[in-house]
A and B are shown apart, each in its own frame.
Chain A
Amino acid sequence: MSWLIDPHLNEPDGSEGSTPLSVLDAHPGGSCSSGSSCSSGTCLVPDAGDDAEDPSVSRRSFLRLLGIGAGAAAAVGAGVELLTYREYAAGAAAANGTTKGGAVSGGAAASMADPSAPPTHQWAMVIDLRSCNGCKSCTAACQKAHSLTQEQTWIDVFTMTSSTGKEFPFPRPCMQCENPPCLHVCPVHATYRQDQGVVLVNETRCIGCRMCMAACPYQARYFNWNSGTKYPDTGMPQDAQFPVPQRLGTVGKCTFCVGNLNNGLMSECAAGCPMGAIYNADIITDVAVNSMGNTVKLSKFLNDNDAVTFKPEQNTHPRVWYILGHGQDLDADVSQDTSSAAS
């Protein structure tokens, strides 16, 4: 009965590859072409598969334990407004000790630039608010690359007010949640999470119900409302990794430029940031790079700078971390009547 629940870790179900919708949509991570990688069980395993035969079952059950552990840790830490990276990683490090020998399969240094790499990458992002000056170059770069309309701000720069009354710019891409509410509520599995942790939308399947927009706590999804919008023909077939041009009546959102990342390039927003505020990151190789060429060890960078996630109370587990630096707190502006309880 595993098809009954949305496959949390999974791509579109196995039948997708055989549907005539779009061959390119079959494996949007582009990640399952090498045979050995599939033994990890994290891809190409049809959802209908029996769990008992799944080689990854022990890891899955482990991850389940991890989830419970994380939940427990979160419960213990209740009252802490911002779940810091340190707290986050503490639980992970403890768990890490028990998984020696499991973990990353296959791979090779060659995979660094190999788009067909198995999930040796888990994409993430770090946004250093100390460097952001609110110029919105990221938004412009993203809209240009994806032929978006003015309203479709897949990465939007909000102006937030801290509890001390200071305004600061706040870029918000899709958080690529590990517990994505949009994915859980999509009635047709059009939203899915590929095995590198990027949440994508299959626009050939989306029925346009906008339930995902209702569920997203970050307002990160954008609909194609008007047929009057003219999208230039890129000469390329549209797929979930690169949904250009957008389709009328379907929903779109930030894709993390996962195609770029898999080809060893930066995402458009990170590359377009003149301040180097946006870091593309890889959790597996533990690397984060910004447009200034600043290359840092992700875990250390997050740890040293007390990185936080946005709206941790939503239990979405974002893959985008923010580094504060000016006494900001991230939810001061959400309920306008009251200053936030964040300390």
Chain B
Amino acid sequence: MSETGTESGAASVGHSGHGANPEWSRAVRSAAMRPMMEKPGALWKAGAGVLALVVLAGIGAWIYQLKHGLGSAGYNDQAFWAVYIVDVITFIGVSYGGAVISAILRLTGQSWRAPLTRLAEGMALVTVLIGGAFIFPHLGRPERFLNIVAYPNMSSPLVWDFLAIATYTVATMIFFYLPLIPDLAIVQRTLGSAEGGIRRAAYRFLSFGWLGNDRQRRLLHGALTIVALLIVPLAVSVHSVLSWAFAVTSRPGWAETVFPPYFVVAALYSGTALVIVTAAAFRRGYRLQRFITKRHFVRLGYLMAALGLVYAYLTFADLISEGYTGITSGWIRETVVGRYAPAFWIYVVFGEILPIVLVAVRRTRNVAGMTVASVGVVISLWIKRIVIVLPPVTQPLVAGQWGSYHFTWVSITITLAGVAAIPLSLMLLFRYIPVMSIDEMEEAGPIGSFEQVSTETEKAIAEGTVGAETKVPVGAMAAASVPAPAGRRPLTWLRRPRGATTAVVVAAVALGLVALIGGGAKAAGAATPAQPASAQPATAQPAASQVAPSTPVTLAVTQPAAGKSALDLTATVGSPSAPVPSGTTVTFYVMVNQFNGSGQMQIGQATTTASGVAQFTYEPTWTGEEQFVAQVAGPAGSVAGSASASYKVTIDPPGLPKSVYEYQRPLTTTGHWVVTTLLTIVAIVWILLLGSLFLVVLRMPKLGRQ
């Protein structure tokens, strides 16, 4: 091909291998760049306007929440985590799906991926940014967010969340940017000098001298392989760490060993579903029916169904072990048959049964069927995460009532803003970059039903004079490539994806909200008044016997051994004229002035010898002037006699160390190694990611000049 000449027009940066089909190339470029070249239509403007309004409303709601506190979003002490953390998990989760699908298909060389990668990677990029942004409404003090950087506690799962999400975001950006380089070069040349200078200069700068020669391709391919290899474990780490924010607590329902894979699979499952939804929407809206065909939907549908089965299995595994023993199963009861049951069963129906049936039944295994299934999965997995978060968070850990979370207009508006931001961002994004990866599609060559499309239609579409929608109905591609068996017609309602999708969305959202709100409303009730327990003071009366009232007592305090703090308290009871029986109990006290008290604290008892002497060895627990009391009990609890003496304790008592009970975590030492190792891994990942990017950026122009 003509890769040597930069002046020979748009085709010059095309792929040299398989791109020999100029018709294909022209069709691809036309379709991928049409949204960039054309002025936005009224429909686009209306859609973007509505979405922007929703996003603005969400920002307004957030400002309201900042002013009035998180209570305005329905939070309370027994529902301290709720909708925003669910949003974080959901959005970052779908991002994971997009990135991993693109990465795995790329690594395994699946050429059919070509029309989907840009959409999947763009969706991954947009959703990870939105998901990350949901951390801010989640925080009570978002303005102090950078304290995580200033005072990181490396034993906190949230610090690792921050590290993992930040790393993954950078990786997603690079993973989005690198395959974009050839397309940027194509766009720059296609724009020609007629278009705005700044825009063209930006494309020129960002394409870093891409010509598409073999060495440049090798370089780009190498870098892309590294990033694609990294992004899979990175995404696993993000969702594992997100799950550990729950699983490292001791809360029943969260402290589950199954949580990391549970979250990872949920992310893949919902991510695959959102790739399907995104592909369906842009296929229709941007007239890509000829490139993204039924085949893509069915293959992604198979993948989604497989992931759905794994997720159903993990859900069952999560519930069965605790539910079986019943030790901490209050949350399971609430989930399966209690107040969260409607939401849980919505997930089971719309998130598992419906999609799997739609994939399994041949009649519905088409674009519309897969789209409906995916919409069901995306929405019901959001509801499922609510069900994962709320029952454990609202359960009583000590005693008493279940808490409840009530959705408010603030939390609903902010969440909807996040949802609206996805299509809005993508619509804006594809105003500036091609909606499909032109280079990859040229490399992959004609796919799907391209050969069977009439040349007239193709030309008309390429020239942008005829809307593909009018000429190429939804089912046409599918029908052309896989003829429907005679006598069988696809279900009619499923042929209209918009209607069916809307129905599923409305049903799932309405049922979910009704269930959650209704469940919350069941809450509360007054606490049962406490039944007073009878007071039973515990006082040990020293056994007293035959001690006459007003028995003389003397007390002497001596230090028996120099250098030791132990003290001998010697009480002499009685007198030669009035002896006391041997074995009379003498109780020793020390005066305590701590806690505003002036009480006598009993420190021990001793019995008298025949000569009336009782001795007790006392180990002081503090230093200074201490007042001791010796007491002999008289009949009926009276005091027969007492004496006091003081002694200045100067030697630090050995007493107790700082705390004999002081507990040291067993893994404190090991923890240092774990943290150091993990941080090293993070550093290596960053070096690899940024290294790949810089290598491409720095070497690319040189390779082009040679």
A binds B: yes
Are the C-beta atoms of B68 and A227 separated by less than 8 Å? yes
Bound state CA distance, A203 and B691, in angstroms?
Answer: 40
A225 partner, pick from B76, B595, B671, beta carbons under 8 A: B76
Bound state CA distance, A289 and B591, in angstroms?
Answer: 12
A334 CB to nearest B CB, Å: 7
Residues in B whose Cβ lies below 8 Å from that of A222: 77
Are the C-beta atoms of A5 and B155 separated by less than 8 Å? yes
Chain B interface SS verdict (over half): loop
Are the C-beta atoms of A211 and B158 separated by less than 8 Å? yes
Are the C-beta atoms of B326 and A337 separated by less than 8 Å? yes
Are the C-beta atoms of A285 and B151 separated by less than 8 Å? no
Are the C-beta atoms of A159 and B658 separated by less than 8 Å? no
Q: Say if the beta carbon of B561 comes within 8 Å of chain A.
A: no
Are the C-beta atoms of B595 and A103 separated by less than 8 Å? no
Please provide the chain B residues from 524 to 577 with a CB less than 8 Å away from any CB of chain A in the complex.
527-533, 535-538, 540
B631 CB to nearest A CB, Å: 14
Write out, one digit per residue, whether chain B residues 154-175 have a CB within 8 A of any chain A CB (1) or not (0): 1111110010000000000000
B85 CB to nearest A CB, Å: 9
Please provide the chain B residues from 166 to 219 with a CB less than 8 Å away from any CB of chain A in the complex.
none
Binds B, one of A22-30, A235-243, A259-267: A259-267
Chain B, interface size: which category?
Answer: 35 or more
Q: How many A-B residue pairs have CB under 8 A?
A: 379
B68 partner, pick from A93, A216, A226, A333, beta carbons under 8 A: A226
Are the C-beta atoms of A296 and B602 separated by less than 8 Å? yes
Are the C-beta atoms of B398 and A158 separated by less than 8 Å? yes
B155 partner, pick from A185, A195, A218, beta carbons under 8 A: A185
Bound state CA distance, A250 and B657, in angstroms?
Answer: 34
Are the C-beta atoms of A107 and B652 separated by less than 8 Å? yes
Q: Say if the beta carbon of A326 comes within 8 Å of chain B.
A: yes
A42-B658, A133-B532, A334-B399 known; A5-B156 Cβ under 8 A = no
Q: Say if the beta carbon of A80 comes within 8 Å of chain B.
A: no
Binds A, one of B121-129, B246-254, B308-316, B342-350: B246-254
A265-B596, A293-B599, A334-B398 known; A5-B668 Cβ under 8 A = yes
Instruction: Find the residue from B69, B76, B246 having the highest chain A CB count within 10 A.
Output: B69
Are the C-beta atoms of B248 and A185 separated by less than 8 Å? yes
Q: Say if the beta carbon of B656 comes within 8 Å of chain A.
A: yes
Write out, one digit per residue, whether chain A residues 90-105 have a CB within 8 A of any chain B CB (1) or not (0): 0011011001111111
B463 CB to nearest A CB, Å: 55
Binds A, one of B138-146, B233-241, B421-429: B138-146
Residues in A whose Cβ lies below 8 Å from that of B71: 225-226, 228
Are the C-beta atoms of B657 and A295 separated by less than 8 Å? no
Bound state CA distance, A138 and B592, in angstroms?
Answer: 24
Residues in A whose Cβ lies below 8 Å from that of B622: 107, 109, 111-112, 120, 284-285
Residues in A whose Cβ lies below 8 Å from that of B328: 334-335
Residues in A whose Cβ lies below 8 Å from that of B254: 214
Residues in B whose Cβ lies below 8 Å from that of A42: 658
A205-B151, A222-B77, A266-B595 known; A159-B250 Cβ under 8 A = no
B528 partner, pick from A159, A219, A282, A283, beta carbons under 8 A: A159
Bound state CA distance, A188 and B162, in angstroms?
Answer: 12
Q: Say if the beta carbon of A78 comes within 8 Å of chain B.
A: no
Write out, one digit per residue, whether chain B residues 615-626 have a CB within 8 A of any chain A CB (1) or not (0): 000000111111
Q: Say if the beta carbon of B666 comes within 8 Å of chain A.
A: yes
Instruction: Find the residue from B333, B537, B592 having the highest chain A CB count within 10 A.
Output: B592
Please provide the chain B residues from 616 to 651 with a CB less than 8 Å away from any CB of chain A in the complex.
621-626, 649
Please provide the chain A residues from 118 to 150 with a CB less than 8 Å away from any CB of chain B in the complex.
119-120, 122, 128-136
B173 CB to nearest A CB, Å: 24
Residues in A whose Cβ lies below 8 Å from that of B660: 66, 89, 92-93, 95-96, 283
Are the C-beta atoms of A8 and B665 separated by less than 8 Å? yes
Write out, one digit per residue, whether chain B residues 667-692 have a CB within 8 A of any chain A CB (1) or not (0): 01101100110010000000000000
A70-B663, A286-B656, A287-B601 known; A206-B141 Cβ under 8 A = yes
A167-B530, A226-B71 known; A187-B162 Cβ under 8 A = yes
Are the C-beta atoms of A103 and B657 separated by less than 8 Å? yes
A174 CB to nearest B CB, Å: 12
A4 CB to nearest B CB, Å: 4
Residues in A whose Cβ lies below 8 Å from that of B285: none
17 contacts between A and B (CB under 8 A): A5-B154, A64-B664, A67-B664, A96-B656, A112-B594, A122-B656, A134-B529, A152-B77, A167-B530, A188-B150, A205-B144, A214-B81, A214-B249, A223-B140, A283-B656, A293-B599, A294-B599
List residues of chain A with CB under 8 Å of any chain B CB.
Answer: 1-2, 4-6, 8-9, 13, 40, 42, 59-60, 63-64, 66-68, 70-71, 88-89, 92-93, 95-96, 99-113, 119-120, 122, 128-136, 151-152, 156-161, 166-170, 172, 178-179, 181, 184-190, 195, 197, 205-211, 213-219, 221-228, 248-251, 261, 264-266, 270-271, 275-276, 280, 282-287, 289, 293-297, 300, 304-305, 314-315, 317, 319, 325-326, 333-338
8 tightest A-B contacts by CB?
A109-B624, A208-B140, A134-B530, A295-B599, A249-B140, A67-B664, A225-B71, A92-B660
